[in-house]
Structure 1
Amino acid sequence: MKQILITSLILWSFNSEAQDTPQKFVDRFFVLYQTKGANEAIDYIFSTNNWMNESKDQVENVKFKLNSTLKLLGKYEGYDLITKKSIGEHLSLYTFLIRYDRQPLRFTMTFYNPSKDWRLYNFSYDDSLDEELKEAGKAYRLKENLDY
């Protein structure tokens, strides 16, 4: 009986480790982004969701627009996690600062797990981080009666 229990626990742990997680998707995305380029990384991240097979035109549009933007930014310098947020155990959002020579971009990836398998739910990018930073520093957002 002990042997069956131990075998079951071992099999469960291998199965748990083999399951893809948002973090594994993110890690693989950035390895591809750095080594093979934006197109490979975008193809990979969208491939995690079978429902997106019907949206090939939209995926190609994302790649085209992103590549057009990247041509203007210079050398890729790396990425930093800005935030990771979750709602329960089934929806996770990751936001990254993508560092380029000229200016940063922001990538936002949302992952969804309806029952047992994680998949990309949404991917977006923009270059408005500096605008939000300026807004956050405006006087009306600052704490009143600062004690110095």
Structure 2
Amino acid sequence: MKTKIFTLICLLSFSQVSFAYQDEIDKFFSLYESGKVLEAVDSIYSSNKWILQKKDDVQHVKSQLQNLNSLVGKFHSKVKLGEEHIAERLYHITYLALYERQPVRLEFVFYKPEENWVIYSFSFDDEIDEELQKFARDKIAGYNVGS
């Protein structure tokens, strides 16, 4: 009985951990998908008071993200590729945003210094060709080895 209660408590606390930063990501994508790019960037950075000291950097991210549609076309959807964590204090979450022309990788890193999660970094890039090729080759080689 104690094991079941302990397991339940662990599962509930893990869910609260993931929901805390996932809510921030969901809010970002909700704003972004509705065309509110600037608000989406403000939203994702709102949890970290230190980011506000880097107004030029934030403005640069806003303008790049706002101009993304002119480079890669219309945004269609997103796919969560995965997440990794270190000691339940640092979470790196990666999404693939699917645009008309090509996919774009979005990376969110959240940090929990005390009780609350804060955004540590947010970035995006379209430099994933080599990684996709390596991933596919490793996967194909792995399938051939076991055959």
TM-score for both structures, normalised by structure 2: 0.79
The structure number with the bigger radius of gyration is 1
| Cα separation, 2, equivalents of 1:36 and 1:117 | 28
Number of residue pairs the alignment of both structures matches = 129
Distance 1:145 1:105 in 2: 29
Q: Cα RMSD (Å) of the superposition?
A: 2.1
CA distance in 1, matches of 2:143, 2:104: 32
Distance 1:125 1:58 in 2: 14
Identity in percent: 36
Q: Deviations over 1:3-47 (max 9, x none)?
A: xxxxxxxxxxxxxx7xx7111101111111111432111111011
Q: Which runs of 5+ in 1 are unaligned?
A: 1-16
Q: Deviations over 1:58-98 (max 9, x none)?
A: 00011112223321211110101001111122111110000
Matched, 1:22 2:25: no
Secondary structure (helix, strand or coil) at the match of 1:80 reads strand
Unaligned runs of 5+ in 2: 1-15
TM-score, reference length from structure 1: 0.78
Match in the other structure for 1:7: none
Match of 1:99 in 2: 98
Higher helix share: 2
Specify the alignment match of 1:52 in structure 2: 51
CA distance in 2, matches of 1:117, 1:71: 36
- Give the match for residue 112 of structure 2: 113
Counterpart residue type for residue 38 of structure 1: V
